[in-house]
Amino acid sequence: MGKRLYFMKGAVLMAAVAVSGIGGALAEAQEASAPESKPSPSGREARPVSWVNPLAAAEAGLVHCTLPSDAVGESVGYVVWTPPGYADDPSQRYPVVYFLHGMGGNESSDAAGFSGHVRDGIRAGAIPPCIVVFPNGGRSGYRDAVERMIVDELAPTIDANYRTQPNRARRVAIGFSMGGQGAVRLAVRHPDLFCAAASWGGGLFRGGEEVLDAVDEQGAQLREQGFAALLINGDEDRPEAYHELVKHLAAQRLEHALVVLPSTPHKLGRYYELSAERTIAFLGERLKRQAE
């Protein structure tokens, strides 16, 4: 057991990483962090995806919506959270945070929890007032039809119907598990859409090569635009899954931080407990910097 410090020369981000129990991978983490890129005839992929999942209860600021998606071939649900005071000043425009759920989740499953942390961050001044969007990614890994739905259909819909600041410097992505990989994947594959990405327990397993390839292919543009990534994993949640990505980010001289949380399995609640404040601050710092 020891500590390592990842630090990029000329980069703002650095993180002390406690390395412990790297070999102790949980089966649950492997399953949730490594979605199949193609449907299989059995198991999770064999079950139909519920594309529309209304909120279980009314929550302040949260609205459930549906998007008729040509990419997916049916209507897809999404949830939008608007910050306190959104209705008070019709002239004010806002940056947008996209939160991507993990395997087995949907557009409504994390909306109340994550938006609550964003609300706390706004009150503390850690992040500017912002809109948060929760897409339904099914079990897609945020690839193929769902990737097209988010990039080509949902993002323009949000910008058309909400008072956003519609440019890459004012959008960030974050996710857990499948969504953690998805947030990084979408951000590096679409550098004109996002300025930063944060990943909780995402890792790079099946299909990870395309993320690494995108970092290499888009490296110059990402670097010029000031892209940054925050990668957080638990010490009981396969932290080694990020090592190849860190190498590629470093080779492209892209700002990044890798953080390994102590005593943390593949449980979203534990990530909230140990890293929500840090992550909200990271997203806020990137949005503030890009606005300068």
**Among candidate residues 110, 108, 162, 105, the one with its CA nearest the CA of residue 138:** 105
**Could you give the angle at which helices 243-251 and 208-224 cross, rounded to 10 degrees?**
30
pLDDT at residue number 292: 65
| Tokens linked to 155 | 């993002």
CATH superfamily of 51-291: Alpha/Beta hydrolase fold, catalytic domain (3.40.50.1820)
Per-residue confidence in pLDDT tens, the chain, 292 aa: 333 333 333 333 444 343 333 233 323 333 333 333 334 334 445 689 999 999 999 889 999 999 999 999 999 999 999 999 999 999 999 999 999 999 999 999 999 999 999 999 999 999 999 999 999 999 999 999 999 999 999 999 999 999 999 999 999 999 999 999 999 999 999 999 999 999 999 977 656 788 999 999 999 999 999 999 999 999 999 888 889 999 999 999 999 999 999 999 999 999 999 999 999 999 999 999 876 6
Residue 196 confidence (pLDDT):
98
pLDDT, residue 24, reads 31
Domain positions in the chain are 51-291
147 half-sphere exposure, CB direction, 13 A CA radius: 17
Beta bridge partners of 172: 97, 196
Structure tokens at 64: 């459930």
Tell me the C-alpha distance between 154 and 135, whole Å: 8
Residue 204 is predicted with a pLDDT of 73
